[in-house]
Amino acid sequence: MNLTAQDEIAVYVEGVRQALAGVPAGIRDELLEDLPEHLAEVLAEGGGSLTERLGPPEAYAAELIASAGIPAAGARPAGGRSRLADQAAETAARHRARLRGFLDRADVRIGPLLGYPKASDFLVLLRPAWWVLRGYLAAMAAAVMLHDHSSPLGLLPRVGGDDFIALLLLTLGILGSVWLGRRTAPAGRWRRRAIRFGSAFLVLFAVIGFFEVDSAAQQDSYQEVSYNGGPFGGLDDVYVYDGQGRLLTGVHLYDQNGSPILLGDGYCYDETGIALFESRAMGYPQCPDTPPFNERGPGAAADPRATPDASPATPDASPAASAASPATPGASSAAPAPSSAAPTVGPSAEASVPAAPR
Amino acid sequence: MLRVDATQLLKGVLDLAVLAVLRDEDGYGYDILRRLRAGGLEEVGDASVYGTLRRLFNAGLLNSYVVPSDEGPHRKYYALNEAGRAELQRSGKVWQGFASIMEDLLRERGKA
């Protein structure tokens, strides 16, 4: 059956459907249910187009109504559907036919790649596998809906965390699904639709479930190492205090083999505790501005910082003072600037000053 | 004024004709149409047979089942059930009685 035949049938059926616009939707759908297959038979016999063989769709619809014993309300009411809606329906029918034609051609083209005349021949063989999978998915979906979050479900439908119930539910699901699949095709349009809709739901459920399980499996592998494992879980930085309670900076830690012990993540929060920046400290603590103990001991923090500042000042001060010989008031005014070093600098500067004018 | 035409007559007996061609063998829509035409009912309309099958099915005189076909679409087969057979027998008798009366009437007219 080629595309043009599909097209012709779809358009003809749509024409009949429009002519039956006055018939209640349920009856109309039922009347038209097998029409495409029937028209395909008519067309397969050859001898002209459908309209040539059967007359216009409107006449066909009228004959159908008369013979099917439907009350004469079947006559199309004026303005029941707008022309635009008619055209839209016809276009939709044509698109449906084109899609079906495309699938048919893809079926034949992909088949040989799988070693079968048609891809659908191969897919039909997978049907029982799908039934089993569908049963499992249905059991899982039921378990997820009944799940009370008291214990994790895992990959079995453990309702209430019970393994026995899980196996029972799984067995029922698979048996039910296989039974449903093995039955000959159900004639009812709505039952067929219900099964199709249910299957689509389960496929969606399976896709979502798959990604959830996949991401959970990925997280497990690094969670253990970096967050939960070992005595250093949750450790971000190291602060070392000496005997006087003074915070040491630029500390490096090594193990018994001389390998550096690297702890923390190398990132710091600023004083506000909101902004994160990369640490530029050499050694620990990586974030010296946010120590865990804020109160500093008497002179604990002030002393170690002041000493390195003051000591180089001493040798610097004397040559500077001796070179600037006439600037006596300048030297004396500079002297008090380094607070703790002032007494040491003062006499040496004064000692050199009297020698300068000579 | 009075015009007897095959199409008019057919309307009254199409149900019976469809039941009759299904008596010995199940069939799908187009197949049934072919049997009727082969049997001599050349005038029978496609939509009429299709609609009649629907109506007989809804009336509970036919069973239906779908048969997947190797080439082409799936086919919906119709089969007579018990009620259908009973109806065929009853209507068949009515028709035969009616037909023989008509035959007698027409023969006497011919003689007169």
Q: What is the pLDDT of residue A308?
A: 46
B76 has a chain A CB within 8 A of its CB: yes
Q: Is A240 helix (H, G, I), strand (E, B) or coil?
A: strand
Q: Report the amino acid identity of residue A129.
A: A
Residue B52 forms contact with A (CB below 8 Å) = yes
Q: Is residue B85 part of a domain?
A: yes
- Confirm whether B14 is domain-assigned: yes
Overall domain count for chain B: 1
Q: Which residues of B touch A38 (CB under 8 A)?
A: 29-30, 46, 50
- What pLDDT was estimated at residue A1? 46
B51 → closest Cβ in A54, A63, A187 = A63
Q: Domain for residue B93, yes or no? A: yes
Q: In whole angstroms, what is the distance from residue A250 CA to residue A300 CA? A: 16
Residue A123, phi then psi, degrees to nearest 5 = -65, -35
Nearest chain A Cα to B46, which residue? A54
B-chain CB neighbours of A34 within 8 Å are: 29, 50, 76
Residue B21 to residue A48: CA distance in whole angstroms: 27
Contact present, B68 and A80 (Cβ < 8 Å): no
Mean predicted lDDT score pLDDT of chain A: 73
Could you tell me the CATH number of the domain that includes residue B28? 1.10.10.10
Whether residue B1 is contained in a domain is answered as: no
| Averaged pLDDT, A20-46 | 83
Q: Per-domain residue ranges for chain A? A: 3-124, 126-228, 231-307
Token code pair at residue A236: 């971000």
Contact between A93 and A11 under an 8 Å Cβ cutoff? The reply is yes
Q: Do A54 and B51 touch (CB under 8 A)?
A: no
Q: Which residues of A touch B64 (CB under 8 A)?
A: 187
- The domain in which residue B63 lies consists of 6-107
Instruction: Read off the pLDDT of residues A269-326 as tens digits, 9 standing for 90 and up.
Output: 777 777 777 777 778 888 887 787 765 544 444 444 444 444 444 444 444 444 444 4
CB pairs under 8 A between A and B: 70
Is the pLDDT at B18 greater than 60? The verdict is: yes
For residue A6 the two structure tokens come to: 């599909």
Provide the phi-psi class of B92: left if phi over 0, else alpha when psi is between -120 and 50, else beta.
alpha
CB-based contact (8 Å) between B65 and chain A?
yes
Chain A residues near any Cβ of chain B (below 8 Å): 1, 30-31, 34-38, 40-42, 44, 53-54, 59-61, 63-69, 184-185, 187
Helix (H, G, I), strand (E, B) or coil at A132: helix
CB A285 within 8 A of CB A291: yes
In a domain, B112, yes or no: no
Respond yes or no on whether the N-terminal peptide bond of residue A285 is cis (omega within 30° of 0). Answer: yes
Here the ipTM equals 0.77
Chain A residue closest in CA terms to B70: A121
Q: Position of tokens 């002032």?
A: A342
